[in-house]
Amino acid sequence: MGQPGMPSGFWIELLIILLIIILLVGIIPAIFRYRMGAKKRKWFSYNQVNKLHKKVDLTLRIVFVIFFITFAILFNIHPFSTYIMIGLFVLTQIGVQAYMEWRFSDNRKDFQVSLIQLTLAFVTLLGFAFWLE
């Protein structure tokens, strides 16, 4: 019989994965923003381009909360579906950000960096899904 709890090496593996996620989602897009001349973004702030973007972003968040509560009630025995929901929300929000920057931003480099960020977020979520399996 094995020991109860986490398998050996779990915390080191988790720390490595978190560092990779921080690199892919946080540091690399910041480097691209600097190198391409896009506007610098504040961390954990709303970066809406205009009022329409603000309305679409708020609607997206409300819909996400409703879907998240519904999924939590209906699919509570399948936690993987919750991870899929969160991943789809993140990708959708970055996609909307890229579209709004493409349509309405003065600086054309902003949406290109957002597309890079969308790709890196997709790769990160895909890697996280494979790690969970």
CA-to-CA distance for 123 and 116, rounded, in angstroms? Answer: 11
In a domain, 64, yes or no: yes
Closest residue by Cα to residue 116 from 28, 22, 15: 28
Q: Is residue 80 part of a domain?
A: yes
pLDDT tens digits, the chain, 133 residues: what are they? 456 777 777 788 888 888 988 888 888 888 888 888 887 777 666 778 889 989 999 999 999 999 888 877 877 767 677 778 888 899 999 999 999 989 988 888 888 988 998 999 898 888 877 876 6
Q: Are 120 and 28 in contact (CB under 8 A)?
A: yes
The total number of structural domains that make up the chain: 1
pTM of the model: 0.80
Range of the domain at 102: 10-132
With respect to residue 5, please indicate whether it lies within any of the assigned structural domains.
no
In this prediction, residue 17 carries a pLDDT of: 85
